[in-house]
Copies of this chain bind each other. A is one copy, B any other.
Amino acid sequence: MIHKQVPIGVSARHIHLSQAHVELLFGEGYGLTEMKPLSQPGQYAANESVEVIGPKGSFPKVRILGPARKGTQLEVSRTDAFALGVNPPVRESGNTAGSAGIKIKGPAGEIDIEEGVIVAARHIHFHTTDAEKFGIADKQLLRVRFGGERGVVFEQVVARVSEQYALDMHIDTDEANAAGVKNGDIGEIID
């Protein structure tokens, strides 16, 4: 039996922007600039940030993750959502139809999006070779265990398999805090 171990990356609230929205918020022709690379190849934390403003509260400095994507998407924890006063669904990245809206403010302008705010569904990125080694298929739902004084088994963990991915499990800050885990801690896939 092989141990199917996976490192954790904790996602704080962050936003992905379309290029059209980058330009509305930062100015015509503006392009995001890279501050530091993320675990997934080609993805980076940008130097730029925006303010997001909900009916009940706001966060003045939400990190933008680049590069620009097809659709704008704000990913928050449930705790963040209560603070903002919005009620986003738990969704996989990219599946934003009918999700929550929000106001976004940048140095050059502001926009109101009708949808795009989600609580990210917990998921694991597998490189194709990791998925083969572990016997896991794209879209499979997994259970992942973390031990310790706040031991937890997360169910409904979505497998995402691609040659573009590096092995990494993404959970949000509520999930990390509930389980007492931090970046780089190791979970075990138990089925």
Interface residues of A, Cβ cutoff 8 Å to B: 77-79, 90, 121-122, 147-156, 172-175, 177-180
Contacts and interface: CB of A to CB of B under 8 A. Distances in A.
Given A78-B180, A79-B177, A177-B77, A155 B156 contact: no
Contacts of A173: 79
Q: Is the interface of A mostly helix, strand, loop or mixed?
A: mixed
Nearest to A90: B149
A178 B121 CA distance: 10
A183 to B, nearest CB: 14
A174 B90 CA distance: 15
A152 B154 contact: yes
A150 B178 CA distance: 13
Nearest to A146: B155
A79 B158 CA distance: 25
Q: Which of A77, A90, A154, A177 has the most CB of B within 10 A?
A: A177
17 contacts: A77-B79, A77-B177, A78-B178, A79-B173, A79-B174, A79-B177, A90-B149, A122-B150, A147-B155, A148-B156, A149-B156, A150-B156, A151-B155, A172-B178, A174-B178, A175-B178, A177-B178
Contacts of A149: 90, 121, 156
A58 to B, nearest CB: 15
